Each structure stands twice: as structure tokens, then as C-alpha cells.
Chain A
């Protein structure tokens, strides 16, 4: 089975400040890693994903995340946030094919990023 821990339930920051949202996972099998974003009163959108290759992945709106296998982490960062980045951010894992009955997305409990002017 897999589990995902997002240590911070809320992260308030000021506009243009850097931010890091932490994600650690536990799994007995190899997994793919994801960050989803949920803007207020909307569904989830995929922000970025790590499937293979370079451990640093980037999104089109300036977020990046780095897969660290030894620390089983996939922290999300942005060097300068905007008010429009205010949203709930979910880290998730999905086992490789052949993951058996646990072949599903497992989410963390989310981190609410609030960007203040």
C-alpha cells in the first residue's frame, strides 16, 4: 500500500515570496508522483508529474518539484508566488503497472497555499 504525507496543512506567504510545499511518501513498490492543484470551488488539475528521467520537473506556471528517492520526497517549489496561486495543493502517488489491488491514485491531505498582498 502507499501513503502520502503533506506535513503542512496551511502555508501563508506574501506575494512574490518563495514557497515550498512538502510531500513525503511511503510505498512498497515503485511509484509515479504528482502534484494536483484545486482552485476555490473547482475540480483538480494536474500541475506536474514525475514518471521517469530527470528528477526535476517543471510546470508551465513556474512551479517545480524534485523527486528525491533516498528521502522519498517530492517537494513543490516556486521562487516567486502570485495571488492567483492561492489554492489547495495535493501531492499524490500511483504505483507502476502491476501494482495489484493498490493500482490507484493515493492523495495526501492537501496544503492550502494562501498568497497575501
Chain B
């Protein structure tokens, strides 16, 4: 009955590799997000999608490419991984982007780049 799920939970990889993190929500929400939480626990939005359309794209390197195949999924692909990409990545979803709607967060994916 998980509302927002992410895979994998842990990801350890070498610098220069390409990796993907998957996110799925079964809440019927229209809007999905990716957040990055750094080693100091600071949490910042990276992207948001509404009905598969990119709405927010913060100043994220273009090595990061979100892809939304349908409203229930928002995947994050990262090319040429760097040490600084090590962080916990959280996916979230909300009903829509009209009046404020609560965002529901996934359990996070801890990415470690060696």
C-alpha cells in the first residue's frame, strides 16, 4: 500500500557512470517532484512535473534528466556521475499545482558516488 515508492533504496557507483532512480505513486496525483538532500540534510527541489509536463527546473546540471512516461511515474537519470552528486534523493507527489496540496514523500534513495 506504499503511496510513493522509489527504487533502488541504496545506490553505490563509480564516478563517470550513468544511473537511474525510479519513482512511482499510486495516489492518482497529477504532480510529481524530485528533491535532493545533501550531507548537511539541506533539502532542495530539483524538478517538478504536472501531467507529464516539466514545470519547475531549478539550476540543476543538465547531466540530470527527469523523465515522466505517465502521471504515476517520474524517473531521474543522471549521466557522468560526480562525487558531489552523493546525496539522498526524494521523490514526492501532490494532487495538482493549483491551490496548495500536501506533498507526499517517498522513502528516499541514498546515492553514493565513489
Q: In the complex, which residues of chain B have a beta carbon less than 8 angstroms from the beta carbon of A45?
A: 105
Contact among A32, A46, A97 with B98 in the assembled complex (CB-CB below 8 Å)? A97
Q: In the complex, which residues of chain B have a beta carbon less than 8 angstroms from the beta carbon of A103?
A: 56, 97
Contact among A43, A46, A94, A112 with B108 in the assembled complex (CB-CB below 8 Å)? A43
- What separation, in Å, do the CA atoms of A96 and B100 have in the docked complex? 7
Q: Is the interface of B mostly helix, strand, loop or mixed?
A: loop
A82 interfacial contact with B, CB 8 Å: no
Comparing B13-21, B43-51, B61-69, B75-83, the segment that makes contact with chain A is B43-51
Category for how many chain A residues contact B: 20 to 34
Query: If the complex has contacts A104-B56, A109-B41, are A42 and B107 also in contact, measured as CB distance less than 8 A?
Result: yes
Q: Which residues of A contact B (CB under 8 A)?
A: 32, 38, 42-46, 49, 51, 88, 90, 94, 96-97, 101, 103-105, 107, 109-110, 112
7 A-B residue pairings within 8 Å (CB atoms)? A43-B106, A43-B107, A45-B105, A88-B41, A90-B43, A104-B56, A110-B41
